[in-house]
Structure 1
Amino acid sequence: MNKYAYLLREIFECNTITQRELAQKMSLSLGSVNTLIKEAVSLNYITKSDNKAVLTLSGLEYLSAFKVDRAIIMAAGFGSRFVPLTFETPKGLLEVFGERMIERQIKQLHDVGIYDIVIVVGYLKEHFDYLIDKYNVKLVYNPVYSCKNNISTLHYAAEYIKDSNVYILSSDNWMRENMYHRYEPYSWYSSIYMEGNTNEWVLKFNKKREITDIMVGGKDAYVMYGPVYFSKDFSNAFMPILEKAFFTPGSDDWYWENVLMNEIKAENKDLPAMHINPQPDNQVYEFENLEELRAFDDRYKENSGNVALELIAKVFDIPQSHIKGLRTLKAGMTNKSFLFEVDNQSYICRIPGKGTDVLIDRKHEYDSYMAVKDLHITEKIIYFDRESGYKISKFYDGSRNADPENKEEMGRCMELLKSLHDKNIKVDHDFDIAERIDYYTKLCTESGGISFEDVSFVQKNMEILLDMLDHMKSHKCLCHIDSVADNFIITADDRIKLIDWEYAGMAEPIIDVAMCSIYSYYNKEKANVLLESYLQRKPTDLEYKKLYAYMALSGYLWSLWTVYKSNIGEEFGEYSLKMYRYAKDFFAEAMRD
C-alpha cells in the first residue's frame, strides 16, 4: 500500500479532514498519521494552513500516477438465479428503487470524474446499446459468454485493462454510498464480514491488509463482495497470467478470481499484492436471487412487471409474493422454462422462445395434449394459452430424465411410444416432414440464408428419400415427434411421463424412433437396437430402411431449424453440424440395397 498516495487522495477529496479521521480511514495510529503528514510536508506534497492541508503541484504530480483510467463493467452473463426476470431483461438492467443497477454505478463513476467506461456484454446484448447514447460508454462483446465463465469477460476486455489503473465491476452490484475515487493508491477487492458458515470466497490477509489466501467457503470471515480495483502494476502482471489461463483446457467454468486464487496460493512474488477493502454493513449488495431483491425493494413483492409472474399470480389467484423457490431449468432448445413453488407444490412455467411463433402452432399442441389426456402419460397441465404458448404444469419432485445410454430405460420409453401409437389416436393436423422441410427452408432463406455449401445437393437427396417413403405407404397416428430422452421423465414412483408435445401430429410411427435416435446421437447400431426394442422383434429390411430415411430427413429438418434460429440470433453450437451429418450419413444407409 502506498501510504503517501492514500494520504494525498484523502486530502484531495477533503482538505479539512482531521488526523483522527485519516487514522480511521487508513487503519493507522494517530502517531503514524502525524508522522506521515510531516513527511509529506517535507517532501513538498502538501502545505498546511488554518487547520487545512492543501496539495501542492508536486503532490498532484505524485498523485497522478494513481489516477483511475477507466472502469470495466462485466455484464455478459445470463443471471440464472433471477429467472424469469432475466428472460426479458439482463440482470444489470433490473431496477432497484426505480433505478437500473448498472446506471447507478455509471452515475457514481461520473460523480468522481471517471467517464471512460467499458461494458462487456453477451446475453441480450442489444439491451445495452442505449447506454452508448445516454452515457457515452463503450460496448465490448463476449462471444463465448454462454459457455465460459467470467474469465472470458476479462479476456475480451484485455486491451482496456493492460497498462491501466482500472475498476473491475459487476453490472448487478448495488452500492448504497459511492465508493469510487478519482485516485486509488493500491489494488483491492471489496469485502464484507459474514458471521457463521458461508459458501462465499473467503479472504485471509496480513496486517498490511494484503490478501494472503483465498478459499471457497468458511466461517466468520471476510469474503469477496463487490467492486475490484487493479493498479497498473497489478494489471500488467496479472493479465498475461489470465490470458494463459483462458486458453488452458478445463478453464471454461473458471471465474477470473480462480486465476487470482491460484497465483496467491502459489505465492507468486511477481504479482503485486491485492488488498482487502472492508466495507461497512449495508453498503454493498450482491443480490443472489429474486427473494433477496424482494426483501430489499418492496416493488418486487407484488408488482415485478414480469409477464410470467403476473400470469402465475393470476392463474393461482395469489399475490406475486406467494410465488417462491424460483429457479431456472436447463435451457431448452425451443423454449425457456423455470421452476416455482406455490403452497409447497412445485410447478414449471414455460415461456415460448424467440421465433417459436412461426415454428409452432400452439393450437395444434393443445389439441395433442387433449387427445392423449385420458392416457395419463403427459405432465399434468395447470394452464395452457393456445395463443401465446405459455404453459404451467406440475413438476414431479424427485423425477429425472431418461438416460439415452441406459438400454433398459430406453426400452421402457419405446414401450410407452408403442403403446401410444397402438392406440391409433387421431388429431386434425399432420406433422408432414416434407412440408416442414419446405417451410423451414423458406424461413432460412428469408432470415439470412443457409450457410451449408452443399445444401442444394443434400436437398435433392432428401427429395429422393421422400419419394421413396411415398411408395412405401404406411398408416399414420398421433406421434410425439420431439421424442428426445429428456422429454421422457421418470418420476420418483418409477412412472414414465412423456412431456412437451409442441411438435406432435399425425405421422408414421417409425418417425418417433428416428427422432429419438438422432436426438440421442445414436450411431447405426444403437438406432437398430432402439427400433428392435420398439417393435419387440427383429425389424424387417423395409423397417430398417424407413428408420434410416427418417433419421436422414429429421437430421436435415433440424439442421434447417437450427440455421433459422441462428439467423435470428440464437446459437446452438455444433448441433446443426451433427444434424446435417445425420442427413448425409443416413441418406447413404437408406439407399443401400
Structure 2
Amino acid sequence: TKTGFIELTKKKELGKSPLGIAYINHNDSMKLKEIITHINKDLYQVKDYYWENILFENNINLHPLYSNECFEINTFEDLRNLDSNSPNLKSEIIDIIKKSLNINITQIKNIFVSKKGMTNRSFLFETDKGKYIMRIPGEGTDQLIDRYEEGLVYQVIHNYHIADEVIYFNKDNGYKLTEFITNSRVCDSLNDSDLIKCMRFLKNFHSLELKVDHYFDIFDKIEFYEKLRKNNDSLYRDYKQTKEKVYELKTIVDKLPKHIVLTHIDAVPDNFLIYKDNNGEKIKLIDWEYASMQDSDVDIAMFCIYSMYNKEQCDHLIDIYYENQCSIITRLKIYCYIAVCGFLWSNWCEYKYLLGVEFGEYALAQYRYAKDFYKYVKEYMEVNGICL
C-alpha cells in the first residue's frame, strides 16, 4: 500500500488483493515455503492454485514491510544509484564510453534504446557534454559485415562531413560510438520535398567519385547469404525458378554501362537524417557498414525496395534523381537492380529468420521485387525494342 505495508484482505474483496510481484520478509517466506512443500505433494490439489491462496486459506499474518526495504530496478541508472559497486555495472561497452568521452560512470544518464534496426541495435544516452549513440551489432552480423572494410570507408569519407561523426570504432566487433544529431528526422519516402533534397545529396556524394579497395558484388553476396542457410531450404517454393530469372538479368546488367564509385548500398530513407543548424537545413547519411565500390545506380534501387515502392513510385524516384533526364538504358538497368537487390535482401532475411529474427512484410516484399521487376524488365525491353 502507499503506507509501505502489505495488507491482507478478504478472499473476494477487491482493491487490495496481492497480485504480481510481492515482497515478503524472511520469516514469512519460510512459513510459505513449508506450506507450499506440503501441498505440492498433491498435484491435483494445486492444479489451478496460486501462491496467494495460501495467504487467504491459512490466515498467515504477514509482518509489515516498509518500502525503504525494497527497491525497483528498471534501468542502468536505478542500479547505479542503488549500488554503485554492483558488478552488473561493469561492461566493455561502458568502459568504451568512459574512455572515449573521458568521463566517469556517474555522468552517463538517460539511457534508452533508440533504434532496433535490421542489422544492429543502438542506444542513446546523455552526458554533460552532449548526446551520443552506441551501436551494438545484432545477431549474425559478424557473418554479414566486414568491420575492417567499414572502418576504411569512414576514413575515406571523414573529411567530407557527409556522415555522422565517429568518436569510437572497433573493427573487430563493430562497436561504434557517434555523436547524436539533435533536432533531426529521417527522410519521408512519400514526401517529394524530402526526396528531392535527399536525391540531390546522394547524387552529390556519387559525384565525389570516392574510392575504396573493396567491391560489393551483388551476385557473390546472393550466393554467400544462401550458403549461410546451410541445408535449410528456402521459404519460397519457386525459389529455384526465381533465382534462374535473377541470373538471367545478370547477363543484361553485365552489358550495360556503369558508374563505379564508392556507393552506400544501404541508402534508404531511414539513413538520411535531415536537421537544422545555424547555417540552415542539412543532411547526413548514416550507417555505412555495407558501403563499397559499386554502380551508383544501385543506391537508387535500394532506396526503392526499402521504401516498398510500386513501379510508378520507383519511376518517380528515378526521375527525381536524374532530373527527368534518365536514359532508357539507365532506367532498364535500375529495374534490373531492383529485382536483383530484392532477391539479395530476401536471402539476407531468410538467414536472419534462421537466427530467430523476422521481418514480416518487408521480407516477402523483397522476394516479390525479384519476381515482379523481372517481368517489368522483359516488358520494358520489348516496348523499347532493346536487344542485348
**After TM superposition, is the score higher than 0.5?**
yes
Which has the higher Rg, Structure 1 or Structure 2?
A: 1
Q: TM-score, normalization: structure 2?
A: 0.82
Percent identity of equivalent pairs = 37
Provide the rounded CA distance (Å) in 2 between the counterparts of 1:508 and 1:441: 23
Q: 1:293 aligns with which of 79, 83, 89?
A: 79
Residue in 1 that maps onto 2:261: 477
Note the C-alpha offset of 1:299. 2.6
Note the C-alpha offset of 1:26. 5.8
**Counterparts in 2 of 1:549-564, with a 5 A limit?**
549-564=336-351
Residue in 2 that maps onto 1:327: 112
The ranges of structure 1 where at least 4 consecutive aligned residues each deviate by more than 6 angstroms after the TM superposition are 71-74, 107-110
Note the C-alpha offset of 1:112. 5.3
Residue in 2 that maps onto 1:466: 250
**Counterparts in 2 of 1:70-109, with a 5 A limit?**
none
Provide the rounded CA distance (Å) in 2 between the counterparts of 1:590 and 1:110: 72
Answer 1 or 2: which has greater strand percent: 1
Q: Please tell me the root mean square deviation across aligned C-alpha atoms, in Å.
A: 3.1
Q: 1:310 aligns with which of 95, 98, 106?
A: 95
Contact preservation (8 Å) 1:396, 1:492: no
Q: 1:450 aligns with which of 231, 234, 239?
A: 234
Provide the rounded CA distance (Å) in 1 between the counterparts of 2:66 and 2:313: 61
Contact preservation (8 Å) 2:80, 2:89: no
Q: 2:128 aligns with which of 316, 334, 343?
A: 343
Instruction: State the number of aligned residues.
Output: 350
C-alpha change, 1:347 and 1:114, in structure 2 (3 Å) is farther
Q: 1:111 aligns with which of 33, 39, 47?
A: 33
SS of 2:103's partner is: coil
SS of 2:167's partner is: strand
Q: What do the CA deviations read for 1:207-265 (whole angstroms, capped 9, x no partner)? A: xxxxxxxxxxxxxxxxxxxxxxxxxxxxxxxxxxxxxxxxxxxxxxxxxxxxxxxxxxx
C-alpha change, 1:460 and 1:108, in structure 2 (3 Å) is farther
Provide the rounded CA distance (Å) in 1 between the counterparts of 2:149 and 2:194: 29
Note the C-alpha offset of 1:339. 0.5
Note the C-alpha offset of 1:414. 0.6
Contact preservation (8 Å) 1:109, 1:115: no
Q: 1:366 aligns with which of 151, 162, 173?
A: 151
Q: TM-score, normalization: structure 1?
A: 0.55
Note the C-alpha offset of 1:25. 5.7
Gaps of at least 5 residues in structure 2 are 1-5, 12-17, 39-45, 59-63, 383-388
Residue in 1 that maps onto 2:55: 183
Provide the rounded CA distance (Å) in 1 between the counterparts of 2:206 and 2:333: 16
Contact preservation (8 Å) 2:32, 2:54: no
Q: What do the CA deviations read for 1:394-442 (whole angstroms, capped 9, x no partner)? A: 0011111111111111111111111111111111001111111111111
Gaps of at least 5 residues in structure 1 are 1-23, 29-62, 64-70, 75-100, 117-160, 168-179, 187-277
Residue in 1 that maps onto 2:335: 548
Larger RCO, structures 1/2 (Cα 8 Å, 6+ apart): 2
C-alpha change, 1:532 and 1:280, in structure 2 (3 Å) is same
Contact preservation (8 Å) 1:371, 1:425: yes
Provide the rounded CA distance (Å) in 2 between the counterparts of 1:525 and 1:505: 28
C-alpha change, 1:481 and 1:440, in structure 2 (3 Å) is same
Provide the rounded CA distance (Å) in 1 between the counterparts of 2:266 and 2:107: 34
Residue in 1 that maps onto 2:324: 537
SS of 1:425's partner is: coil
Contact preservation (8 Å) 1:112, 1:181: no
